[in-house]
Amino acid sequence: MKKNKTVFLDRDGVINRVHLKNGRPHPPLNLSELEILPGVAASLERLKKSGFKVIVVTNQPDVARGTIEKKVVEEINYYLSEKLKIDEFKVCYHDDSDVCNCRKPNPGALLEASNKYSIDLNSSYMVGDRWKDILAGQRAGCKTIFIQCNYDEIQPDFPTYTVNNLTEAVEIILGEKDGKNK
């Protein structure tokens, strides 16, 4: 049976603009704050035309923390799924203290998707803007692409590639750009 190649994407900071507070990224608090980043729609369309599944894997701990309602996260994800070529959203609503397997840097959401869609993780990519995204991808056996946003937090160890945005990541994935890490 043929295995699927997939690009796993973090949501906030990769697909949509984050809101920086003290140098740290935060998700939009409602649909009116949501802004899809430039080049994202075209990049996802190119991935789909090249035969990749596109699955968003996102931590949304503000639900567990009580600062955003689950229905708001679902509304944002639904809007994004209507506007963009995304196969599925895998959302972790837990906080770090919940010690679940679905919260990045744990690879649970990627492994679950791999089983569901018969994904070849070694031929797949995890693209993210934070160290937890990269570590989750590494733990799942994916190639990793770090989008450098210069947040005031720890940086990931040894991503496969480092880029400035999703457009550059897709160029590497599709073999159109030299994949040398910065």
Question: Residues with catalytic annotation?
Answer: 10, 12
| Contact indicator for 144, 163 with CB cutoff of 8 Å | no
Collapsing DSSP to helix, strand or coil, 72 comes out as helix
Q: Which residue's structure tokens are 């949304």?
A: 60
| Contact indicator for 164, 172 with CB cutoff of 8 Å | no
| Contact indicator for 13, 34 with CB cutoff of 8 Å | no
| Contact indicator for 177, 162 with CB cutoff of 8 Å | no
| Contact indicator for 129, 10 with CB cutoff of 8 Å | yes
Give CA 113 to chain center in angstroms.
Answer: 13
E strand residue ranges, 77-128: 88-92, 125-128
